[in-house]
Amino acid sequence: MPPQTDNCNIQEVTPLIAPSLVKAEFPLTETAAKVVLSTRQAIRNIIHGRDPHRLVVIVGPCSIHDPEAALEYAHRLKQVADQTQEHLVIVMRTYFEKPRTTVGWKGLINDPHLDGSCDIATGLKLARSILLRVNEIGLACATEMLDPVTPQYTADLVSWAAIGARTIESQTHREMASGLSMPVGFKNGTDGRLQIALNAILSASHPHSFLGIGQDGMTALIKTSGNPDRHIVLRGGGGKTNYGPEDVERAALLMEDQGIPRSVMVDCSHDNSQKDYRNQGSVCREVLRQYQAGQRALMGVMVESNLNPGKQTWCEGASLKYGVSITDGCIGWEETADLLQEMAATVAGGALALSH
Ligand SMILES: O=C[C@H](O)[C@H](O)COP(=O)(O)O
Ligand SMILES: C=C(OP(=O)(O)O)C(=O)O
């Protein structure tokens, strides 16, 4: 027998429940399917210029760590989404996977008990059950697709997806995006580079063949047809912001070749907020000002928001404050509700100006 040459650094391999079985436990409902399909279509109409009057708003916690707080947030957001639907397509950030700069808690799917036990089987079910409940309220969900296996468990409940700044250059993620069923926003890189996002957007529009898993959990050859519904997300980077008028115009010009008329979303958080959640409101207002001034390449904004403002440090065994982020700092609910109403009023004014 030759000596073992593989799995040298692997402690354990545990088979997981197949996607089809998790779906059988938490099946897609008529209501949820309607929310998903109508929201995806509304976002497509905005991106492709068929709806020139509304903005997409991806808003909600940086990460979900407490299902109860997430559902309370969803109920509150649903009310504002209904009040502002003429002007905004509001989609809740339901982020269950966190890409870390180095190490840290990697999200509710990876570690649902927040204790380092990494019970991913429970995490997948928990994420799906939260997505289902939020959709059942009538509110659409947005998430970052980080692990290429995860969409098989959750994608039928997701209306908008992000490819994040840390994975934008990865072929695996571009292939995955080419097969996703929902519109996808591509972040610029953490160093601020736009070109890698543009390359990703082009790559994801093409068909790809790659390794993945099927609904039965078996490894499979996946062939995709390419995703026509793509846009860029400006999130700043390398310590610099990129939400100013010149930045947005530059991104819009670079996106022209992709044939997508409304192709630019601004992430008001991350480097655009200089990693201080209190700056998100002013970033958002500057983007609204550009929209009001006629910048119609702008299709939406992203805001990190939670029930309560700020963030807290998670460590094993720590007692946590309710409704406060354990990843990036977020604006609190009162500020969020006011900002969303302000956005709706600005967009209403913009639509009026356009029709004269
Ligand atoms: O959006 C969340 C964070 O910015 C991202 O996951 C990176 O976090 P980290 O730099 O704290 O690891
Ligand atoms: C991690 C995120 O963003 P980015 O990829 O831009 O850092 C996020 O939006 O949660």
Answer whether 40 contacts ligand 2 (Cβ < 6 A). Answer: no
Q: How many whole angstroms from 189 Cα to the centroid of ligand 1?
A: 13
Answer whether 62 contacts ligand 2 (Cβ < 6 A). Answer: yes
Q: How many whole angstroms from 175 Cα to the centroid of ligand 1?
A: 23
Q: Which atom of ligand 1 is nearest to the CA of 270?
A: 4
All structural domains of the chain with their residue ranges: 19-355
What pLDDT, on the 0 to 100 scale, is given for residue 353? 53
pLDDT of 230 strictly over 50: yes
Q: Which atom of ligand 1 is nearest to the CA of 98?
A: 6
Helix (H) or strand (E) holding 55: strand 55-60
Q: How many whole angstroms from 236 Cα to the centroid of ligand 1?
A: 14
By most ligand atoms within 8 Å of CB, the mutation choice from 63, 65, 100, 270 for ligand 1 is: 100
What pLDDT, on the 0 to 100 scale, is given for residue 257? 87
Residue whose C-alpha is closest to residue 353's, from 313, 302, 296: 296
Range of weakest confidence among 35-49, 54-68, 281-295, 314-328: 314-328
Type of residue at 305: S
pLDDT of 286 strictly over 70: yes
Answer whether 106 contacts ligand 2 (Cβ < 6 A). Answer: no
pLDDT of 355 strictly over 90: no
Write out the two tokens for 61.
């916690």
CA 8 vs CA 3, 116, 117: distances in Å: 11, 22, 21
Architecture of the structural domain at 19-355? Alpha-Beta Barrel (3.20)
What pLDDT, on the 0 to 100 scale, is given for residue 315? 80
Write out the two tokens for 154.
């959750």
User: Would you say the ipTM is above 0.90?
Assistant: yes
What pLDDT, on the 0 to 100 scale, is given for residue 356? 47
Cβ 186 vs Cβ 201: under 8 Å: yes
* pLDDT tens digits for range 132-167: 999 999 999 999 999 999 999 999 999 999 999 999
Write out the two tokens for 215.
């609904």
Type of residue at 310: G
Type of residue at 3: P
Cβ 44 vs Cβ 183: under 8 Å: yes
pTM assigned to the model: 0.97
Q: How far is CA 279 from the centre of its chain?
A: 20
Q: Of all residues in the chain, what percent carry a pLDDT higher than 90? A: 95
pLDDT of 32 strictly over 80: yes
Question: Average pLDDT of 213-223?
Answer: 98
pLDDT grade, residue 317 (50/70/90)?
A: confident
Bridge partner list, 304: 60
Question: Average pLDDT of 244-263?
Answer: 95
